[in-house]
Chain A
């Protein structure tokens, strides 16, 4: 690399990192407990049941959820990927913000209500909001996405700079004798290059996750309307088919897949006259990819089933790669360890910049390296 190229990449690495470091640190720190959200979060105690395949009436559970919340409506049903539970939120209206939902959790086999804390309060919820949107909704999420892009740039430029750096050293060599700064420069570079692939993937998939809102919007304005249009021309009807019938029809229409979410008519994920069900497969990968089915609200008949477009699939696949929740507890522990390493990289990078500006000058780096070489 030419001296000019080196200066250019150093400049990019310095400024892209400096701008996003404080947010990257926040993301790494809040992300740490979130890795274990399933273990730490509200977990209802689930009884052993004699007939594990049984299914209780969902309409009865809905009635029970609504009984305690007069004047409210049920906008969604949320199933769990691993546990036999159904989370039924109630809200003031079909379009209420999810952070205002009140949840009641049921055992899907017995229909029994389970005692569980609300998922939208407590320590983990605060961590989640700080991590995902800084309590600022879609704007905050997109802002963090921008910080993630800068972090990606910082990772790429760091990788480019590793080349000229490594030419002078054996892999794993850490110069300790000359100054603390040089020791930490070597550690920063070494830990950075060791965790490069993981850090790069987690950052990039995080950026994709911040695009959830625009992706939803695109899907709603394109596919959802197209799918619902397939039964246009039918007379409007105020009847609502029972939810149990809707679910049975969906399961019959899409065999081999599991209903994960049901959106009631009038929510942002359905239409005023349709239910929308979101189904998943049963392999590690297909269990992350939602397939929507649109159901006529009056008759309960399935109108259309279709795969999501590629941009939605990109979002679904990037989720497990960001969360690290697809390989059991050991994978989560690995995620946490690598997260701690990236915290060390971020703090050492900040230290290196501070030490460098205190020592006065960007040339120090090269001077020190030359003197270290001479001393060997």
Chain B
């Protein structure tokens, strides 16, 4: 296997997304209102936006070769 792949593990982005999601879930629960709500919304908007972006992109017809 090439070394570029090991440095850029396929898990890098999924792990980052999971961390951001967990932070968002806990921010509003453990933090006390105010800024923590906003941080929670911002963090949890990331998986929402990624889902929407890739879903729309996946439904578009293939690019011209």
Contact = CB atoms under 8 A, between A and B. Distances in A.
A113 interface: no
B22 interface: yes
Main secondary structure of the interface of B (DSSP, over half): helix
Contacts of A172: 13, 54, 57
A234 interface: no
Interface stretch (A2-10, A43-51, A91-99, A330-338): A330-338
Interface residues of B, number: 34
A171 B10 contact: yes
A328 B37 contact: yes
Given A194-B50, A327-B40, A328-B37, A183 B18 contact: no
A197 B54 contact: no
B51 A341 contact: yes
Interface string B17-44: 1100110010011111100010011001
B29 A331 contact: no
Given A187-B54, A285-B29, A285-B30, A198 B47 contact: yes
Interface string A252-286: 00000000000000000000000000000001110
Contacts, number: 102
B13 to A, nearest CB: 5
A321 interface: yes
Interface stretch (A34-42, A121-129, A143-151, A159-167): A159-167
A29 to B, nearest CB: 18
Most chain A beta-carbon neighbours within 10 Å: one of B5, B37, B40, B51? B51
Interface residues of A, number: 36
Interface in A89-148: none
11 contacts: A162-B14, A174-B54, A176-B62, A194-B17, A197-B47, A198-B25, A284-B31, A284-B33, A337-B48, A337-B51, A341-B55
Given A331-B40, A334-B41, A344-B55, 4 more contacts: A166-B10, A193-B17, A331-B37, A334-B44
Interface of B: 5, 10-14, 17-18, 21-22, 25, 28-33, 37, 40-41, 44-45, 47-48, 50-52, 54-55, 57-58, 60-62
Interface of A: 162-163, 166-167, 171-172, 174, 176-177, 183, 186-187, 190-191, 193-198, 201, 283-285, 320-321, 326-328, 330-331, 334, 337-338, 341, 344
